């Protein structure tokens, strides 16, 4: 029987001990004596969040298919256990073997959002691995980062030995083979990092020097080691059909955030919304063969016993096999008590018809993401959704019996005026008006329109990467304008408005576009007790402000400054495939409120065609 | 057709709470392709009910759930299939046909449960066990022959004083543990930790760390004996 890292007394005292015991269905056990490489794969948040992430399941499956590798999982211990582990000096352990992470060859950390950065430090510290890569010795694991935030890894540069830029399916084998080879030859940690630096897509931050101008912007960014590349090429797996997919994902004992099977139907998005980092990073859009997805659906349901299946993609409606796949799922599985959940669907006749079949109309709500209230603003961000589309879609839904609608917006977008802000309330009201056009006897009581806004954060590799943000006060003022506008609407009693926290936005902004220097503030905040910053109960902005003050770093420098187009940005050393010329072109079109067509309608020459596949070549096949 | 599944819960699975064990079985039914029946409506759910919840930390050799089948499956096949898709810490012991009658459901017929109580060196591990002190062995008969033994019993809704002695059907010291047969079910229910608490207090001893292990869940027959719930079922051939 497996021996657990935590004793019974601890496990019976903490919340949800199932987070820490491993042993779930489909978790992979191997003999540590029979593998060459032990890889600890970490999602730096609590188990229920980390277990809901598809990317880790893909990599876990991919690594464990290799006989010479045992990949195990690690998550952030929750606050209660964190405290106990510190008091009792218990080293952080991997779930499968329950052995300490510090004894592994690799610690891989997926970096999905900025507000998990203090949790990364927690994982390192509880693992008893030196926080700074420069202080790690031959016995310490190689700490490698990946995921969307690795596209600007600079705020974390000091804490990681390597970053993997791009999709994991391509060069991990090379990276692991190089490690084995180096170990066999008795090579040092540094020898390995040099070998790794020569692999496409691998960035070794310690092999680069950054100098700064007097105004604080970057003066130079250059390799200090002959093995390091000038530019790091983002990794893309072009054939998403014939690649790894976890046909037997791990099934948690406790309820996790995404307690279901996810079929990733495609990667990338053809839409080109200018605020959306994922839409730029995952270019070109690549579809997975619908026949293969059907096979996966059978196999995964059989292997997990899950009762829900969902589609994964940035915009499922753009998947060309959608109709075929959804019809198949309903016909095949609906009768067997399997729920089918369809996120990110555009509202049209087909999707409404489908949704009527898979959910209880009276209970469910429909979601639209206009992102901005006015048409002008939507053109600026290239959200190709018109007011007519929204009102027509909502109308169709209302006629079909729905009476709850959720609307998602952003505030603080570039060029935003007071009219644009108020338009959020006006658009919401128009949706409600459409509902009350239905004769009273045909409608289902009052409607409930819930509008939510988040504050826009400019992200690297988007056309808005040079744009300034606003102060905390300004964000709240903008939300207040919207709130007041809501109170003036005809159907205000059917409308609800709420907005996302402004303080978190400010910090997320700093880390999204920060450079190496802000790692000092991150470490300071962590030392002051910041942890689980993405959990509103634990987020403590005062401590963060204190961290910036005491390290002499300015939030304003990172957030409030408009960057000039010729400034060296911290992430410029990464080639994401999307060219800077394209981003600049898009920024200019944005400022003129000019819409750019989606990739299927017309190629806008973003640069992603260089990979020779995906949507860029669809019509040419 | 209705079937009763008997399973063991041990090892690390003792940390999995009742609701999560239910979820585990729902998914296991699908993995094992057991022809289980569903309720109707927009969100159908499996027709499945557990005889008695088991507290976190407690292990068991006799847990039960009843399910409804849409078609026949042999006991042998069902047990084999379920054991193939289970995890370390949950073993399927039997899969038996039970009467259709609602009065035969595990929840309804449960009348008692028996336990082994182990004295531990510390709460750190349930495997480091101590022998039951001789003094305790001597005190059990006296404890049981008291007029009454009032304890505070906390339920989800209220807290009240109850006399636990009528709910202790048997209690005796064995070489390495204390055996007890206690009332269980919807009418009256007594947990073994309450008994040990009262017993220690009776002996004027301090709190000690224990591990509780359920042996079986039992029903009461007409002649007054307590039989395991699995005795009500018959092999599906």
Q: Both A220 and A276 in a single domain?
A: no
Question: What is the model's pTM?
Answer: 0.95
Closest CA to A151 of A63, A235, A268, A58: A235
The mean per-residue pLDDT over the stretch A308-312 comes to 92
- DSSP class of residue B203 equals T
Residue finishing a domain among B108, B129, B144: B108
CATH number at residue B145: 3.30.310
Q: Both B27 and B81 in a single domain?
A: yes
Q: Token pair for residue A413?
A: 């977008």
Whether residue A165 contacts residue A177, with contact meaning beta carbons closer than 8 Å, is answered with no
Q: Both A74 and A166 in a single domain?
A: yes
Q: Both B48 and B120 in a single domain?
A: no
**Which chain A residue lies closest to B26 (C-alpha atoms)?**
A305
Residue B180 host element (H or E): strand B178-183
Chain B residues near residue A339 by CB distance under 8 angstroms: 43
CATH number at residue B35: 3.30.70.580
CB contact under 8 A, B38 and A337: yes
CA–CA distance, A544 with A526 (Å, rounded to integer): 9
CB contact under 8 A, A12 and B57: yes
Q: Both B118 and B62 in a single domain?
A: no
**Which chain A residue lies closest to B47 (C-alpha atoms)?**
A337
CB contact under 8 A, B57 and A23: no
The verdict on residue A130 lying in a domain is yes
The verdict on residue A469 lying in a domain is no
CB contact under 8 A, B30 and A306: yes
Chain B residues near residue A330 by CB distance under 8 angstroms: none
- pLDDT given at position A618: 84
Higher local confidence (pLDDT), A185 or A355: A185
Q: Both A271 and A223 in a single domain?
A: no
A364 — contact with chain B (CB < 8 Å)? no
CA–CA distance, A17 with A77 (Å, rounded to integer): 10
pLDDT in tens, A44-63: 999 999 999 999 999 999 99
**Which chain A residue lies closest to B35 (C-alpha atoms)?**
A336
Distance, in angstroms, between B12 CA and closest chain A CA?
7
Digits of tens for pLDDT over chain B (237 positions)? 999 999 999 999 999 999 999 999 999 999 999 999 998 877 788 999 999 999 999 999 999 999 999 999 999 999 999 999 999 999 999 999 999 988 889 999 999 999 999 999 999 999 999 999 999 999 999 999 999 999 988 777 778 889 999 999 999 999 899 999 999 998 899 999 999 999 999 999 999 999 999 999 999 999 999 999 999 999 999
CB contact under 8 A, A253 and B24: yes
CB contact under 8 A, A305 and B30: yes
Whether residue A478 contacts residue A411, with contact meaning beta carbons closer than 8 Å, is answered with yes
CB contact under 8 A, B23 and A2: no
The mean per-residue pLDDT over the stretch A578-601 comes to 96
The mean per-residue pLDDT over the stretch A553-570 comes to 97
CB contact under 8 A, B85 and A25: yes
Closest CA to B169 of B228, B114, B232, B222: B114
The verdict on residue A385 lying in a domain is no
Q: Both A69 and A114 in a single domain?
A: yes
CB contact under 8 A, A4 and B12: yes
C-alpha distances in Å from residue A274, one per residue of A204, A383, A399, A411, A573: 30, 8, 33, 14, 21
Within 8 A by CB and 6+ apart from A348, the residues are A317, A393, A396
Residues of chain B whose beta carbon is less than 8 angstroms from a beta carbon of chain A are 11-13, 15-17, 20, 23-24, 26-31, 33, 38, 42-46, 56-57, 85, 87-89, 122-126
CATH number at residue A264: 3.30.750.210
Chain B residues near residue A22 by CB distance under 8 angstroms: 12
Within 8 A by CB and 6+ apart from A114, the residues are A149, A507, A508, A511, A512
Residue finishing a domain among B53, B87, B108: B108
Beta-strand relationship, A218-223 and A208-212: antiparallel
Higher local confidence (pLDDT), A151 or A342: A151
Chain A residues near residue B88 by CB distance under 8 angstroms: 1-2, 23
Cβ-in-10-Å burial (0-12, 13-18, 19+) of B159 comes to exposed
Q: Both A227 and A264 in a single domain?
A: no
Q: Both A19 and A118 in a single domain?
A: yes
Whether residue A47 contacts residue A256, with contact meaning beta carbons closer than 8 Å, is answered with yes
A620 pLDDT tier (thresholds 50, 70, 90): low
3-class DSSP state for residue A618?
A: helix
For the beta carbon of residue A420, count every other beta carbon within 10 angstroms.
Answer: 22
Q: Both A280 and A222 in a single domain?
A: no
- pLDDT given at position A362: 66
* Signed CA dihedral, A194, A198, A204, A205: sign only: positive
A445 — contact with chain B (CB < 8 Å)? no
Q: Both B121 and B95 in a single domain?
A: no
Whether residue A236 contacts residue A611, with contact meaning beta carbons closer than 8 Å, is answered with yes
Cβ-in-10-Å burial (0-12, 13-18, 19+) of A563 comes to middle
Q: Which residue has the tokens 């690549």?
A: A286
- Say how many CB pairs under 8 Å bridge A and B: 78
A298 pLDDT tier (thresholds 50, 70, 90): very high
Q: Both B89 and B172 in a single domain?
A: no
Q: Both B44 and B102 in a single domain?
A: yes
Expressed as residue numbers, the domain containing B22 is 2-108
The verdict on residue B142 lying in a domain is yes
Q: Both B189 and B203 in a single domain?
A: yes
CB contact under 8 A, A307 and B30: yes
Distance, in angstroms, between A8 CA and closest chain B CA?
5
User: How crowded is the C-beta side of B33, counted as CA atoms within 13 Å?
Assistant: 10
C-alpha distances in Å from residue A520, one per residue of A76, A515, A523, A529: 22, 11, 5, 14
A88 — contact with chain B (CB < 8 Å)? no
Whether residue B6 contacts residue B92, with contact meaning beta carbons closer than 8 Å, is answered with yes
A86 pLDDT tier (thresholds 50, 70, 90): very high
Distance, in angstroms, between B87 CA and closest chain A CA?
6
Q: Which long-range contacts (CB under 8 A, 24 or more apart) does A546-551 make?
A: A547/A521, A547/A522, A548/A521, A550/A524, A551/A520, A551/A521, A551/A524
Q: Both B84 and B118 in a single domain?
A: no
User: Radius of gyration over alpha carbons of chain B, in Å?
Assistant: 19
Chain A residues near residue B46 by CB distance under 8 angstroms: 337
A384 pLDDT tier (thresholds 50, 70, 90): confident
A436-472 as b/e: b if 16+ CB within 10 A? eeeeeeebeeebbbbbbbbbbbbbbbbbbbbbebbeb
Within 8 A by CB and 6+ apart from A111, the residues are A44, A117, A120, A145, A146, A147, A148, A149, A150, A153, A156
The verdict on residue A392 lying in a domain is no
Expressed as residue numbers, the domain containing A334 is 260-358+595-621
Residue finishing a domain among B108, B128, B146: B108
CA–CA distance, A569 with A194 (Å, rounded to integer): 25
CA–CA distance, B207 with A522 (Å, rounded to integer): 46
CB contact under 8 A, A306 and B24: no
pLDDT in tens, A94-111: 999 999 999 999 999 999
A611 pLDDT tier (thresholds 50, 70, 90): very high
A330 — contact with chain B (CB < 8 Å)? no
Which percentage of chain A shows pLDDT scores above 70? 99
The verdict on residue B185 lying in a domain is yes
The verdict on residue A148 lying in a domain is yes
Q: Both A279 and A190 in a single domain?
A: no
Q: Which residue has the tokens 């078609």?
A: B71
Q: Both A93 and A155 in a single domain?
A: yes
Q: Cis peptide before A284, with omega less than 30 degrees from 0? A: yes
A243 — contact with chain B (CB < 8 Å)? no
Residue finishing a domain among A186, A217, A233: A233
Which percentage of chain A shows pLDDT scores above 90? 88
Q: Both B14 and B60 in a single domain?
A: yes
A516-541 as b/e: b if 16+ CB within 10 A? bbbbbbbbbbbebebbbbbeeeebbb
A355 pLDDT tier (thresholds 50, 70, 90): confident
Q: Both B125 and B220 in a single domain?
A: yes
CA–CA distance, B116 with B173 (Å, rounded to integer): 10
For A:25-54, CB contacts with B below 8 A are: 25
CB contact under 8 A, A18 and B126: no
Q: How many domains does chain B have?
A: 2
Of the residues A8, A17, A299, A330, the best mutation for testing chain B's interface (the one with the most B CB atoms within 10 Å of its CB) is: A8
Chain B residues near residue A360 by CB distance under 8 angstroms: 42-43
* Signed CA dihedral, A395, A397, A398, A399: sign only: positive
Q: Which residue has the tokens 């089918």?
A: A340
Ranking A36-40, A341-345, A424-428 by mean pLDDT, the lowest is: A341-345
Q: What value does the mean pLDDT of chain A take? A: 94
CA–CA distance, A413 with A399 (Å, rounded to integer): 33
DSSP state letters, A331-356:
HHHGGGT-EEE--S---SHHHHHHHH
A312 — contact with chain B (CB < 8 Å)? no
Q: Both B218 and B145 in a single domain?
A: yes
pLDDT in tens, A138-174: 999 999 999 999 999 999 999 999 999 999 999 999 9
Q: Angle at the Cα of A135 (from A132 to A140), degrees rounded to 5?
A: 95
Q: Both A167 and A27 in a single domain?
A: yes
Largest CA distance in chain B: 60
- pLDDT given at position A520: 97
Q: Both B217 and B173 in a single domain?
A: yes
Q: Token pair for residue A13?
A: 């005292």
Distance, in angstroms, between A24 CA and closest chain B CA?
7
CB contact under 8 A, B44 and A8: no
Residue finishing a domain among A214, A233, A252: A233
- pLDDT given at position A361: 65
Whether residue A521 contacts residue A551, with contact meaning beta carbons closer than 8 Å, is answered with yes
Q: How many domains does chain A have?
A: 2
Q: Both A264 and A183 in a single domain?
A: no
CB contact under 8 A, B56 and A12: yes
**Which chain B residue lies closest to A335 (C-alpha atoms)?**
B44
CB contact under 8 A, A305 and B85: yes
Residue A162 host element (H or E): strand A162-164
C-alpha distances in Å from residue A483, one per residue of A406, A432, A451, A478, A496: 16, 16, 10, 9, 9
CB contact under 8 A, A306 and B27: yes
Q: Which residue has the tokens 């032990």?
A: A38
Within 8 A by CB and 6+ apart from B74, the residues are B236, B237
Using CB atoms, which residue from B11, B16, B45 is nearest to A1?
Answer: B11
CA–CA distance, A386 with A371 (Å, rounded to integer): 11
The verdict on residue B233 lying in a domain is no
Chain B residues near residue A9 by CB distance under 8 angstroms: 122-124
A401 — contact with chain B (CB < 8 Å)? no
């Amino acid at each position: 029987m497996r021996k657990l890292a935590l004793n019974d007394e601890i496990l019976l005292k903490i919340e949800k001990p199932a987070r820490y015991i491993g042993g779930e269905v489909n978790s992979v056990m191997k003999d540590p004596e029979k593998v060459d490489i032990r890889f600890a794969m970490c999602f730096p948040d609590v188990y229920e969040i980390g277990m809901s992430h598809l990317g880790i399941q893909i990599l876990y499956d991919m690594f464990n298919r290799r006989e010479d590798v045992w990949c195990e999982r690690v998550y952030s211990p929750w606050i209660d256990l964190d405290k106990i582990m510190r008091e009792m000096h218990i080293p952080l352990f991997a779930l499968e073997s329950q052995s300490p992470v510090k004894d592994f060859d690799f610690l891989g950390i997926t970096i999905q959002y900025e507000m998990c950065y203090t949790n990364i430090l927690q994982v390192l510290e509880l693992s008893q691995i030196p926080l700074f890569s420069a202080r790690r010795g031959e016995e310490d694991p190689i700490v490698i980062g990946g995921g969307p935030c690795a596209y600007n890894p600079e705020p974390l540069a000091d804490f990681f030995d390597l970053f993997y830029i791009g999709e994991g399916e391509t060069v991990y084998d090379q990276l692991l083979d190089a490690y084995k080879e180096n170990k066999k030859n008795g090579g040092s940690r540094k020898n390995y990092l040099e070998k790794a630096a020569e692999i496409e897509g691998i960035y070794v931050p310690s092999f680069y020097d950054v100098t700064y101008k007097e105004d604080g912007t970057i003066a130079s960014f250059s390799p200090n080691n002959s093995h390091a590349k000038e530019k790091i090429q983002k990794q893309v797996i072009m054939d998403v059909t014939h690649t790894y997919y976890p046909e037997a994902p791990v099934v948690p004992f406790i309820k996790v955030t995404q307690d279901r099977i996810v079929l990733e139907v495609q990667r990338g998005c053809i839409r080109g919304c200018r605020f959306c980092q994922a839409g730029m990073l995952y270019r070109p859009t690549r579809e997975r063969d619908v026949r293969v997805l059907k096979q996966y659906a059978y196999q995964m349901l059989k292997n997990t016993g899950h009762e829900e299946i969902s589609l994964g993609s940035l915009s499922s409606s753009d998947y060309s096999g959608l109709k075929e796949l959804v019809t198949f799922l309903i016909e095949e599985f609906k009768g067997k008590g399997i729920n089918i959940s369809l996120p990110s669907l555009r509202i049209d006749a087909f999707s409404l018809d489908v949704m009527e079949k898979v959910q209880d109309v009276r209970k469910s709500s429909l979601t639209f993401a206009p992102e901005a209230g006015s048409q002008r603003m939507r053109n600026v961000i290239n959200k190709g959704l018109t007011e007519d589309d929204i009102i027509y879609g909502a109308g169709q839904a209302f006629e079909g019996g729905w009476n709850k609608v959720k609307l998602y917006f952003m505030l603080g977008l570039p060029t935003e005026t007071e009219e644009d802000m108020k338009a959020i309330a006006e658009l919401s009201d128009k949706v409600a008006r459409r509902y009350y056009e239905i004769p009273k006897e045909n409608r289902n009581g009052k409607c409930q329109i819930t509008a939510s806004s988040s504050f826009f954060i400019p992200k690297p590799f988007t056309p808005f990467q040079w744009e300034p943000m606003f102060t905390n006060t300004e964000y709240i003022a903008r939300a207040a304008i919207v709130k007041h506008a809501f109170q003036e609407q005809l159907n205000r009693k059917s409308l609800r408005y709420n907005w996302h926290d402004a303080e978190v936005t400010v910090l997320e902004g700093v880390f999204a576009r920060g450079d190496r220097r802000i790692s000092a503030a991150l470490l300071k905040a962590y030392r002051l007790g910041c942890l689980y910053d993405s959990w509103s109960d634990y987020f403590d902005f005062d401590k963060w402000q204190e961290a910036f003050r005491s390290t002499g770093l300015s939030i304003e420098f990172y957030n409030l400054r408009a960057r000039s187009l010729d400034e060296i940005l911290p992430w410029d050393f990464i080639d994401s495939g999307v060219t800077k010329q394209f981003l600049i072109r898009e920024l200019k079109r944005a400022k003129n409120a000019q819409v750019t067509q989606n990739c299927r309608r017309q190629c806008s020459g973003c640069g992603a065609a260089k990979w020779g596949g995906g949507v860029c070549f669809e019509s040419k096949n | 057709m209705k079937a009763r599944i008997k399973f063991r819960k041990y090892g690390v699975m003792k940390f999995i709470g009742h609701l999560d064990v239910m979820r585990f079985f729902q998914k296991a039914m699908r993995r094992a392709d057991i022809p289980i029946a569903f309720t109707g409506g927009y969100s159908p759910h499996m027709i499945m009910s557990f005889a008695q919840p088991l507290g976190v930390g407690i292990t068991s050799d006799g847990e039960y759930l009843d399910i409804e089948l849409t078609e026949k499956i042999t006991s042998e096949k069902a047990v084999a299939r379920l054991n193939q898709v289970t995890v370390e810490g949950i073993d399927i012991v039997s899969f038996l046909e039970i009467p259709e009658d609602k009065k035969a459901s595990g929840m309804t017929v449960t009348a008692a449960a028996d336990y082994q109580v182990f004295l531990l060196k510390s709460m750190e591990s349930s495997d480091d066990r101590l022998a039951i002190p001789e003094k305790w062995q001597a005190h059990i008969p006296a404890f049981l022959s008291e007029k009454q033994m009032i304890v505070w019993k906390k339920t989800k809704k209220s807290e009240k004083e109850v006399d636990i002695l009528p709910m202790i059907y048997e209690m005796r010291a064995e070489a390495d543990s204390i055996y007890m047969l206690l009332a269980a079910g919807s009418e009256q229910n007594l947990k073994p930790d309450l008994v040990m608490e009262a017993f220690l207090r009776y002996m004027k001893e301090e709190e000690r760390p224990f591990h509780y292990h359920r042996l079986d869940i039992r029903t009461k027959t007409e002649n007054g004996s307590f039989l395991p719930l699995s005795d009500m079922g018959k092999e599906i051939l």
